[in-house]
Amino acid sequence: MVGRKLIGSRLALQVGGLAVLAVVLSNILTVVFFFGDRNEIIRTIVNAETLARLTPVVTSLERGEVVGLDETISIRPAATWTPDPNAWQEAPLLASQIMATSGGSSLRVFTPRISAFTFGDLFQQVQKGGPEVGAILTPRDQQPLAILIRIQPDLPPPLAALIATLISGVLITFGTSFLIGRMTQPLTTLAAASENIGQSQRIETVPVRGPLELRIAAGAFNRMAQRISQLLDRQRATLWALGHDLRTPVTAMRIRLELVDDDETRDRLRESVREIERVVEDALFLARSDLATAPTQIAFLDELVEKAVAGLIDANPESASRLTITKNPKARILARSNDMVRAIRNLIHNALRHTEGSVQVIVSLDPTPAIEVGDWGPGLPTEVLAAPGEPFVRGDQARSADGSTGLGLAIVRSIAEGHKAKLSAKNRSGESGTLMRIDFDRI
């Protein structure tokens, strides 16, 4: 199962495997067809070597010349050698070819019976000095002579053939994998671009290259990305225009409420106006198009938390006694500091608003940097836990009794995604309260 996953998970490996399988099958078929003709092939090899070795010896004997003898040539009286018909077969065609060259008068040639041979046998005999071929020559006015010669056909060793097959298979595999890898590279790029959709404010297009089918897919993706980008741009423009247009009437309301004589009524109206202003500012912030494109720098999470807490305490000094902070001086991230301080401040402010007890802020590094904010409020429903930070989506009535629009967590989520971080939420097990967490990439 593991091997299947490793081989089957990459297209290049699949095609390379098919190429190797094709090579193996072709070699098997070659061997099968070759096996049917092996006797003829062995006979051809033996006959060719017999002609090459026996012809000059017969020619020299016919001319009465001295034959240079060595360990591969033996010449004796014919009466001392009788070929065994079970091991030898006469080759009259070879005899006639040699006599045509040497001009001999009487020659009989004997070769080993090919039916008793295999390539392995022939190769082993070559390794031991070669198989013998024999001839009975009757030179003019001389006694018949028996000629025995060890032939050594030029055979490739079986191991070398096996190694050559393996090397060719490996080369074909790597070559095919390389070519297919280059062909499928656009697929990897397309998958990465698809994965990034929704993780940042911008949708990147992909190069249109590769085979026709991949170019069609890349072109369709780019058109889809363009449509989504245009839709998001229109939404941001609408949100920006709405927030900008609300500023004028809100300012007018702030001026007029100062004319209200009743102090209690004026304070309530002032708080309502402040809430409207917060919504407007949050909407304008979400409409920004540079959340994921502004440059980042190394920042320590402890310092960002300190700045966020300082801003909250300045606005509400009583909140200082309700905060418990656990620091980690080694936790570092790449961040746009002002945006991240705002995200952390929103998380802590959200927790303080939904509980009357204390709020825990924990900076950790296990193994990646993270910040966790926990409260002991009423918790969140399951549908909100699945996607925390959706704009204008609030929790249950207990958590939204203050009229919150849900933009605070939407800003947290937007900032987190702009930093390639992940916002998650869960309720405390066995007790009330919610844990909000941002996980960052380690640097």
Higher local confidence (pLDDT), 1 or 156: 156
Distance set, CA 348 to CA 29, 95, 129, 270, 352 (Å): 74, 107, 92, 24, 6
| Rounded distance between C-alpha atoms, residue 373 and residue 400, angstroms | 18
Query: Cβ neighbours of residue 237 under 8 Å, at least 6 residues apart?
Result: 287
3-state SS, residue 425: strand
The span from the CA of 352 to the CA of 200, in Å, is 29
Give the whole-angstrom CA distance, residue 285 versus residue 412. 11
Query: What are the two backbone dihedrals, phi and then psi, of residue 51, each rounded to the nearest 5 degrees?
Result: -60, -45
Q: Which residue from 366, 354, 349, 337 is spatially nearest to 439, judged by alpha carbons?
A: 366
- pLDDT at position 401: 45
Say what the pLDDT of residue 371 is.
95
Do 292 and 278 meet the contact criterion of CB atoms below 8 Å apart? no
79 to 70, 75, 87, 134: CA distances (angstroms)? 22, 12, 18, 13
Which residue ranges make up each domain of the chain?
Answer: 2-35+158-188, 37-150, 293-439
The upper half-sphere exposure of residue 227, i.e. CA atoms within 13 Å in the direction of its Cβ, equals 5
Encode pLDDT of 59-96 as tens digits: 888 887 877 777 788 888 988 888 888 888 888 998 88
Q: Strands of 145-150's sheet, edge to edge?
A: 73-77, 145-150, 132-137, 107-112, 88-90
User: What string of DSSP letters covers 186-238?
Assistant: HHHHHHHHHHHTTTSS--------SSHHHHHHHHHHHHHHHHHHHHHHHHHHH
Range among 67-81, 93-107, 226-240, 332-346 with highest mean pLDDT value: 332-346
pLDDT tens figures, 371-389: 999 998 888 877 777 777 6
- 140-162 pLDDT per residue, tens: 777 888 888 887 766 555 555 56
CATH 3.30.565.10 fits 293-439, yes or no: yes
User: For residue 145, how many C-alpha atoms fall within 13 Å in the half-sphere facing its CB?
Assistant: 22
